[in-house]
A and B are shown apart, each in its own frame.
Chain A
């Protein structure tokens, strides 16, 4: 009897997940279409079609070169980047929430954002170009988490998860204050505004080169996460239970943290700091497809991609100036998160 009940629950969950995926994919498709056709530079659907067709057929489109640049080199890469960044942040958030068994965890819990922020701010302070700033941001994110992990390794006598979280909070705060120090020392007329803009997050000016640079790192990070999805399910039971079930928790934790950090650092290095997605989207994904990581990972990617795509479309259209992404995600995210909190009395596992 138990078996029958179990099977029916599973098929129920399967049906629910299939529905969730269908919904997410459709929403994403619709969003891509809308995002492509709106923007500050007017490009009609017809022109869009002409352009894409000319790319496929190799015939000249007869449209002004600026329109082509807008669609293929400005809006296109930006749409793709927003989906990659959104998906990445959502996945890392979901993974961390499972790993730390805490629904309030976001990808910055181990200091990756603070590290990336410090790297980027240093880059701006030393007047580096965009590439230099991105490299420093990426390296900063990785080093911050490496430092947090090493602290966790050295302080073995405590609960490993708790130590990691506490070390992450402490290192994050320290790095945040160094960022504050550099803002304080920066030229208030030139560098300070650039720093402020970066810290608020934005995808304006993203080129296809940026997309190609971050994509390998993100794929490299996603692969082990997907391969380890079953062990991740076990990890959410807690350290002792997972070990009792024969999982080398230390090893899995190291791999998962490295992978999630790689993804987040790569994403943040081009977008600047964008909060909320990593905290919010995993909850939504869990509501849609349930807590199984095999489904939760792709669902988080889809929803995160769609969410940031939508928010970024708003950011570049609702005003004549660019609205910082960090501000928009917070404005949309806060009420949404309260709603999720109110209704997710049920477990987050």
Chain B
């Protein structure tokens, strides 16, 4: 990642004139500059002028995004168009007041966890990702200062961003959505959007959480970690292989993803029940409540140790899923939950308190007792 978010001066005429004026004022007031040492005073003047443009940046500045692109953005960014699901969650946690709208409509259940003004934001569609649902005119009509995307950085997304930026004239910033980059990305995006203080808070929390998770994980040798199967799809027969974005949380919490061990590298794939029976995972993690409710009575799944011993866990999903989709910062709290489910003897601290802190800090609303029950005490939520 480049030195994201660092600004350089931009020599707009207006900026230069203002800075010259400021520089002069400073020179007149400053007694340290003697008149006969003209050369020095000129260079001091220039330095001051430079400083002034940087500090009182007038209407434009340059931002470097995670792809290393240098982009000219307005000095004050008030309105941000989130290009996709992960971006809207990321932006909502960082600067909800700048979020122009959600990618897809929020359900009533989701809205209950989000403060009213943000819950009422319009649905604008997604700009990139797998298929656009928005119209470039919608983007323009919402008058964004910048467009922000959060996720994988690759040539496809970079060229898409370039195209939209050229077409609309709206700066398009790409930020790296990798799990281990969350803290860094918060800082660079915070600097770019002018919300460094809240970014610092969020990235400190992230660093603390990840460090805490790592410290605990260090105590369990790799061999004594449980074999986990991640079930997706209505029959629970779709799963993520090694390196797939779907199992990033499960890998981050140090669990042994059975499909990754037995099949290897890949993305989301379909497997047969024979394979699941042979792997015989000790724990099944899922995001499909429809699957979780039938797994216990399904004549095939019944033979899997995890199901027989009641170790099928469904990740909470409100307002944003704790695992997997969208792959954004919403997965952070999911790590704590996974820790509790996979290593109950290590992750003994109060998950309710942690949830309150996380939701307050990231989602701007502390859930009430009933919501906490809904999140943490439903069937298949905890040991």
Closest 6 CB pairs of A and B: A189-B325, A205-B235, A41-B274, A69-B303, A129-B290, A322-B270
Contacts of A133 in B (CB 8 A): 234
Interchain CB contact under 8 A, A193 and B274: no
User: What number of A residues sit within 8 Å (CB to CB) of B?
Assistant: 39
- Not counting A194-B238, A204-B237, a sample of 15 additional A-B residue pairs whose C-beta atoms are within 8 angstroms of each other reads A66-B277, A69-B299, A69-B302, A74-B274, A130-B234, A133-B234, A188-B85, A188-B129, A188-B130, A193-B268, A204-B271, A205-B273, A320-B263, A320-B264, A321-B241
Given A129-B293, A197-B270: A189 in contact with B324 (beta carbons within 8 A): yes
User: Given the complex of chains A and B, what is the CA–CA distance between A320 and B276 in angstroms?
Assistant: 12
**In angstroms, how far is the closest chain A Cβ from the Cβ of B235?**
4
| A–B Cβ pairs within 8 angstroms, 9 of them | A66-B278, A74-B272, A130-B234, A130-B294, A133-B234, A187-B85, A190-B324, A207-B298, A316-B274
Q: Is the interface of B mostly helix, strand, loop or mixed?
A: loop
Partner of A322, one of B232, B272, B290: B272
**In angstroms, how far is the closest chain A Cβ from the Cβ of B59?**
36
Classify chain B's interface size: 35 or more
Determine if A202 is an interface residue (Cβ-Cβ < 8 Å): yes
Contacts of A74 in B (CB 8 A): 272-274, 277, 300
User: Given the complex of chains A and B, what is the CA–CA distance between A193 and B264 in angstroms?
Assistant: 19
Given A40-B278, A188-B129: A194 in contact with B233 (beta carbons within 8 A): yes
Given A127-B290, A130-B294: A205 in contact with B299 (beta carbons within 8 A): no
Contacts of A185 in B (CB 8 A): 104, 133
User: Given the complex of chains A and B, what is the CA–CA distance between A188 and B298 in angstroms?
Assistant: 28
Determine if A151 is an interface residue (Cβ-Cβ < 8 Å): no
Contacts of A205 in B (CB 8 A): 235-237, 272-273, 300
Question: Which chain A residue has the least Cβ–Cβ distance from B264?
Answer: A320
Given A40-B274, A205-B273: A190 in contact with B232 (beta carbons within 8 A): yes
Measured CB to CB, the residues of B under 8 A from A are 85, 104, 126, 129-131, 133, 232-238, 241, 246, 262-264, 266, 268-275, 277-278, 280, 287-291, 293-294, 298-300, 302-303, 321, 324-327
Measured CB to CB, the residues of A under 8 A from B are 39-42, 65-66, 69-70, 73-75, 124, 127-130, 133, 183-185, 187-190, 192-194, 197, 202, 204-205, 207-209, 316, 320-322, 324
**In angstroms, how far is the closest chain A Cβ from the Cβ of B106?**
12
Partner of B235, one of A128, A130, A192: A130
**In angstroms, how far is the closest chain A Cβ from the Cβ of B101?**
16
Interchain CB contact under 8 A, A202 and B270: yes
Partner of A187, one of B262, B269, B325: B325
Partner of B271, one of A39, A70, A129, A321: A321
